[in-house]
Structure 1
Amino acid sequence: MTPIPRWLTPLRRSLKSVLRPRRIAILEACLIGLVSGLAAVLLSQSIGWLGLWRVRASYTFSAYWVLPLFGVGGGWLAGVLVERLAPEAAGSGIPQVKMALAGLPMPLNWRVALVKLVSTVLVVGSGFSLGRQGPIVQIGASLAAQMSHWVPTSPDYRRQLIAAGAAAGLAAGFNAPIAGVLFVIEELLQDFSGLTLGTAILASFVGSVVSRVWGGGGFVLTQQAPILGRNLADTLSGTIAIRFSVQDLPFFLILGSLAGLLGALFNQGVLASRRFYQRTIPLGLPLRMAATGLVMGLLIALLPETFRNHAGLQNTLLTGDTTGFLLALAFIMKFLLTLIAAGTGAPGGLFAPSLVLGAALGSFVGVTSQAFITQLAHWGWVATDWVEHLAAPYTYALAGMGAFFGAITRGPITAIVIVFEMTMSFDIVLPLMIGSVVAYLVAELVARGSIYDRLLALNGVDLSKDSHTLNTFMSELTAADVMQKRVETLSSQLTLDEVKQAFSRSHHRGFPVVDNGKLVGIVTQSDLMQVRLGQRANRSDVPRLYEFMTPDPIGVSPHDTLSHVLHLLNTYQMSRLPVTEGRKLVGIITRGDIIRAESDQLSGKVDQRGPQPDPSYVVYQTRAPAIGQGRILVPLANPHTAPLLLQLACALARDRNYELECLQVIKIARSQATDETVVNISAARRLLQKAVRLGRSWQVPVHTQIRVAHDAAHAILETVHERHIDLILTGWKGQSTTPGRVFGSTVDTLIRQTACEVIVVKWGQDLIARMVEAAASGNTLQEASLSLAFDRWLVPLAGGPNAQRAIQLLPALTIFSEAPEIRLCQVFEPTVLPLDTQILDREAAYLERHLHGTVHTLPVQATAVADTLLALTQQYHCDVILLGASREGLLQQAFKGNIPAAIARRSRSTVILVRSAVTNTPHPAAWETPPSRPDT
């Protein structure tokens, strides 16, 4: 890093005074609002043009082939775009935005925005019963995320820009700037910080203005709105006033209750439709959407002509100039059509359908209430003037829109403000509040959570409140929490040769320069390189450090947040910053420290924050004769399941002629030194001594050790390296609360970072209960382990080396059963015919030669692999499921699920997962069939 010339100092200070963070935020918010508004205009106009062409063609030609043709063509083209260019653009887009704001891996960029825009035009314009408001939220967020990459920002500020883009998109889509901000706060971000509110409000305002000025329109309920080109238009007469009386109160309560019940049913239907498509229809996204477009086109062609034009149908529902039968038909058909469309994963939102469904339901309640009161007045049970004081059906329609919207999204405040901003009538606020709040409460009683959270949960993503701490921890932690307090420093009077020697002896790439306890500069490898390239070759004297160091370095205080630190590191492209109090150096913080803090947060190790962990320290160990051909490492953490784990380890060790290495890790805080902290090892020693006695009964050598460590995974990795481990056998509790982790921090680290074979065991719930009871009754290790009897095994096969290695383990593991019953299963796609059972037959023949039990083969056709295997486990009452571990990527796990982890998490039986040793062999996906294996 080169020193900044002194004559540039005033200019730098001037730029800092002009480009203050608040002014930059205002500029960015305006730019985000402008871009999002233009995108909303383009989306709205394109959908209007394609929809108008489709409706006119249906009147000119036969609707029975025009509407299905548009559905097939638009669905197939959109499916191809999404599947090949941006799979993240599928669905409404709001769950993806929530994932990104929660800190989970989810791409948001210009590619996603462009594919989302084009595919939404094709889907909505070709007649799918979906809307454009959800997609424009993802488009706005994607454009904002792309712009945040162009200018280095902190993760926290980038998250706020994404939220501002989402707010601007929704505001432009509805022409409702306040609703856009409230939706972000209520549903997406749940953050009330000043910067978030200011950025989102300004972006929403600009987006809404752009949408109004350049014709993007929205859900504008005015007499001037055209029928086509806007999603919810309407010809509400300006002379008709919205009124509300006491007589309407029971009917609005009924409306809210119905909206809550039907809204919860709608959410359940969307989830059921999504499961149906995933598990029952084995088609790719293009064919699935084309088939859905065909079905929807045929159904709409059979309905009255009003249903061909979504905007015209919405207008009819709002005005209330129709019969109760048509209103009921509109609600039922819109309900079904939306479920069919949403289940495919087509790019389209649920905002517009929910508002239409609410309008139909509200109009139906309004018409019914008028007929009911009229009949009561005719019988003389109520006064005749009650009919005159009742609200008009369109008032019920507007209240129904807000109620149904709030029941689906679980955002009653946003629902109220959206409809209010569309009507700009204060008279509608009270009916809206009654209907929306009642609908929200009823829907929460029936099934908790919004449709977006439940869609994410369906894909294995949990965004509970606990997981939101991942988003804010960088704003809560300070530099003092993670900085390195022990800092190597240099004096400014050192010569060039002495500085080179300091760099050669250390792994650091830079040193603070300190004189008399005060920070005077910083020197990096780049500074040394400049000197070596001859910048000072013409000088005869030996340069001193103060001559080529960077004086007056940028630093942070101990109270600065990690977000601010990372912002400075990105802005100035540095790898470390000194931490100072005044000019006194108190520590140094690097990118590695921030990454480590983030990893600790992901792993749930809140108590482990601090400096870089020290190597683990062995405080106790015993050694047995080294007579084995290899070693099995058994980390013992749970005293209740340790006997079971040791039984399996002894069986494997005796079969392979291995030794056992039993390890206990005692974790301490990073603020404590591993080699100086006093720990109590009495309980750990007792457990290890029992392991030694068990090894003697199996005639297996058992080594033991206790390590004090800051991190259990690091201690295990150090043991693997020092003791030359060939196999790791570890337990798993069956669940992981860590976002982005499959089995948890420790197990995931072992699977990914060790070259040796890894076996992970999740014990069955009944087996654990018996072990706890045995331990409570005072049974010895050997007596408690007698309950380990595995008679019925289910072994799925996929042809990879992990499944192949699992088969090789069976002869040793079935030693606990006198007559084991093995079922080898292979799951084929439903479209695969004939079934190739070569793998099943070969593995069955191998097991029959090496086992003393029975072997059955089960070829099965299904799309949901995990559900099928769990059903087979229950059908045959299997004690154990033996699986090869999966190596899927994190993004794929988030959307499709890691099959072995899903089975282990949901099964009540014992599950054993095997990951074979990592060698230089090809990746498992490159293997067409397993290599031949000798019988001995």
Structure 2
Amino acid sequence: MPNFIKDNIQKTSNNSSRSIKKLLKQRSLVVAFSLLLTGLGASITSISFKTGIYFINNWRLALLDQFPSITVLPIFGALGGAIAGYLIKNIAPAAKGSGVSQIMGFLRHKKVPMNLKVGLVKLISGIIAIGSGFPLGPEGPSVQMGGSVAWQMAKWLKAPTAFRRVIVAAGGGAGIAAVFSAPLGGFVYAIEELLNSARPVILLLVVITTFIADSSADIIQALGLDPKAGGFDFNLGFLIQKEYDPSVFFLPIDFIYLVLLGIIIGIFAELYSRYVLLMQNLGKKWYKNKFVLKMSICGLILGSIYSCLPSTFHNLDELQKIIAEQNTSIGIALLAVLVLFITTGLAAASGAPGGLFYPMLTLGGSIGLIMGSWVEIATGHAPSTYIFAGMGAFVAGCSRTPITAMFLAFSLTKNLLIMKPVLISCIASFLIARAFNEESIYERQIQIELED
């Protein structure tokens, strides 16, 4: 990022801090309501998003039991892409893309529409696109939806402009917190990636918002709105929600292995970032303003590709699960790396409303599984944490946020012992990827996705 932009952001942060302190003294009730409504809004939209994807995806999988995949998947992809593209183009063009770059653009004083209409279109179109087979995740849209809700709440409550910027970033972090059940991950992401600020008053506002979002998301899930609930029980209260429960052993020799894994993944993450950006530029060049056609054709191509693959690849949640639990072969893991590398770039090129964190986690986990198996064959030993370290390292290499990446990988296991090995690989990956380019994939996407 150019120095004058960094200086401008720092000055804005200082001004925001002073304005917010003044606001806290004069209108503390407005601040409290803004934080509460932003956290609740982010959790409701994020859980609704995950639930909608779950049901459409299940419908698609049920049809695969009755009809051949070569018929179902391409048709689903083409129709889903066309419907989502039509909604975005005709109602809220700002709802296209990952969502993270839109929030980052807004925080860097670019003209980005921020309102409930954008959030609602992002919600519906994202559910349709991802549920129809676009290999993207819910976290990017959750960041944008959380930010849009936050902006609208602050506007309704007539909060000053400086406070709106902070609350938008807090809303984005709240979206991450709700969708990953990771309040610390959402908090650190808002500070590390979105705000680039560590002012105490700003830290306080962000951490309150992300914890409200995570807690309310757990309660909403317990009401039955998310079929994969587990973070709250009305008799027992809040519970530790683990997606995976791996055996974790961290030996001193593992440090070397984990650094090597981080170096390899850092190089691969930068290659992946450049590939995604290249595909996005080609998509804009080839289709220009034919957004609906572009999404429909991409959906058709994606469906056709996945119809030729084993059934494991028809449900990306299950693919990530068998990789994380090591219930698959090296051949499937290698195929997962190749397929997700190609198809997520194609999906991003279409402008589909979906995030990259989720496929990044699966890609990193697959590389960790492959490298772990090869290292064990070669040396007789491999760290037990290679898969989750790979997940965190890939996110860190692409997003340039090693602390956030560590907390996201930790959120999958809730095992404190895993944080050390994951952080080692995350830092190594971050440093290697940053040596090639200081900007994250999202910073480089800002110009591409906001050009229109």
Same fold (TM over 0.5): yes
Aligned pairs (5 A) from 1:226-305: 234=243, 236=244, 238=245, 241-281=247-287, 284-305=290-311
- 2: CA distance between counterparts of 1:243 and 1:60? 44
Displacement, 1:60? 1.8
- 2: CA distance between counterparts of 1:372 and 1:426? 29
User: Which residue in the other structure is 2:153 paired with?
Assistant: 147
Indicate which of 176, 179, 199 corresponds to 2:185.
179
1:190 has 2:196 as partner: yes
1:405 has 2:385 as partner: no
Instruction: Call closer, same or farther: CA 1:218–1:145 in 2, change over 3 Å.
Output: farther
Query: Contact 2:149–2:171 at 8 Å: present in 1 too?
Result: yes
> Structure 1 counterpart of 2:164, which letter?
R
- 2: CA distance between counterparts of 1:256 and 1:157? 38
> Structure 2 counterpart of 1:209, which letter?
S
Instruction: List runs of 5+ in structure 2 lacking aligned partners.
Output: 1-23, 232-240
1:63 has 2:53 as partner: no
User: Which residue in the other structure is 2:315 paired with?
Assistant: 309
Displacement, 1:408? 0.6
Query: Once the two structures are aligned, what percentage of the paired residues are identical?
Result: 32
- 2: CA distance between counterparts of 1:28 and 1:210? 15
User: Which residue in the other structure is 1:86 paired with?
Assistant: 92
C-alpha deviations, 1:218-277, integer Å up to 9, x for none?
Answer: 99999xxxxxxxxx995x4x5x52012233333222210111011000110011101111
Query: Contact 1:139–1:166 at 8 Å: present in 2 too?
Result: yes
User: Which residue in the other structure is 1:723 paired with?
Assistant: none
Displacement, 1:168? 1.1
SS of residue paired to 1:246: coil
> Structure 2 counterpart of 1:317, which letter?
I
Instruction: Call closer, same or farther: CA 1:197–1:355 in 2, change over 3 Å.
Output: same
- 2: CA distance between counterparts of 1:193 and 1:248? 36
- 2: CA distance between counterparts of 1:221 and 1:430? 26
> Structure 2 counterpart of 1:195, which letter?
V
- 1: CA distance between counterparts of 2:196 and 2:230? 29
User: Which residue in the other structure is 2:144 paired with?
Assistant: 138
Indicate which of 405, 413, 416 corresponds to 1:423.
413
Indicate which of 895, 909, 919 corresponds to 2:451.
895
Instruction: Call closer, same or farther: CA 1:287–1:458 in 2, change over 3 Å.
Output: closer
- 2: CA distance between counterparts of 1:405 and 1:71? 26
Q: Which has the higher strand share?
A: 1
Aligned pairs (5 A) from 1:248-397: 248-281=254-287, 284-374=290-380, 387=381, 390-392=382-384, 395-397=385-387
User: Which residue in the other structure is 2:234 paired with?
Assistant: none
Instruction: List runs of 5+ in structure 1 lacking aligned partners.
Output: 1-17, 223-231, 375-386, 460-893, 897-936
1:50 has 2:56 as partner: yes
User: Which residue in the other structure is 2:42 paired with?
Assistant: 36
Q: Would you say how many aligned residue pairs link Structure 1 and Structure 2? A: 420
C-alpha deviations, 1:9-49, integer Å up to 9, x for none?
Answer: xxxxxxxxx99533432232111101111111111111000
Query: Contact 2:77–2:300 at 8 Å: present in 1 too?
Result: yes
More off after superposition, 243-252 vs 149-158: 243-252
- 1: CA distance between counterparts of 2:342 and 2:226? 27
Query: Contact 2:218–2:229 at 8 Å: present in 1 too?
Result: no
SS of residue paired to 1:405: helix
1:441 has 2:431 as partner: yes
- 2: CA distance between counterparts of 1:344 and 1:138? 18
Query: Contact 1:26–1:199 at 8 Å: present in 2 too?
Result: no
More off after superposition, 73-82 vs 313-322: 313-322
- 2: CA distance between counterparts of 1:244 and 1:161? 39
> Structure 2 counterpart of 1:169, which letter?
G
C-alpha deviations, 1:398-425, integer Å up to 9, x for none?
Answer: 0001000000100001111122233211
Instruction: Call closer, same or farther: CA 1:409–1:218 in 2, change over 3 Å.
Output: farther
Aligned pairs (5 A) from 1:535-934: 895-896=451-452
Instruction: Call closer, same or farther: CA 1:266–1:220 in 2, change over 3 Å.
Output: farther
Instruction: Call closer, same or farther: CA 1:196–1:220 in 2, change over 3 Å.
Output: farther
> Structure 2 counterpart of 1:193, which letter?
R
- 1: CA distance between counterparts of 2:437 and 2:451? 23
- 1: CA distance between counterparts of 2:228 and 2:390? 15
Query: Contact 2:104–2:446 at 8 Å: present in 1 too?
Result: no
> Structure 1 length normalisation: TM-score?
0.43
> Structure 1 counterpart of 2:424, which letter?
I
SS of residue paired to 1:140: helix
Q: Which has the higher helix share?
A: 2
**Structure index of larger Rg:** 1
SS of residue paired to 1:60: coil
C-alpha deviations, 1:274-305, integer Å up to 9, x for none?
Answer: 11112234561111111111111111111111
RCO higher in 1 or 2 (8 Å CA, sep ≥ 6)? 2
- 2: CA distance between counterparts of 1:206 and 1:105? 29
Query: Contact 1:221–1:422 at 8 Å: present in 2 too?
Result: no
Instruction: Call closer, same or farther: CA 1:250–1:131 in 2, change over 3 Å.
Output: same
Displacement, 1:134? 0.6
- 2: CA distance between counterparts of 1:422 and 1:282? 39
C-alpha deviations, 1:567-600, integer Å up to 9, x for none?
Answer: xxxxxxxxxxxxxxxxxxxxxxxxxxxxxxxxxx
1:214 has 2:220 as partner: yes
Displacement, 1:170? 1.2
- 2: CA distance between counterparts of 1:343 and 1:25? 39
Query: Contact 1:409–1:452 at 8 Å: present in 2 too?
Result: yes
> Structure 1 counterpart of 2:352, which letter?
A
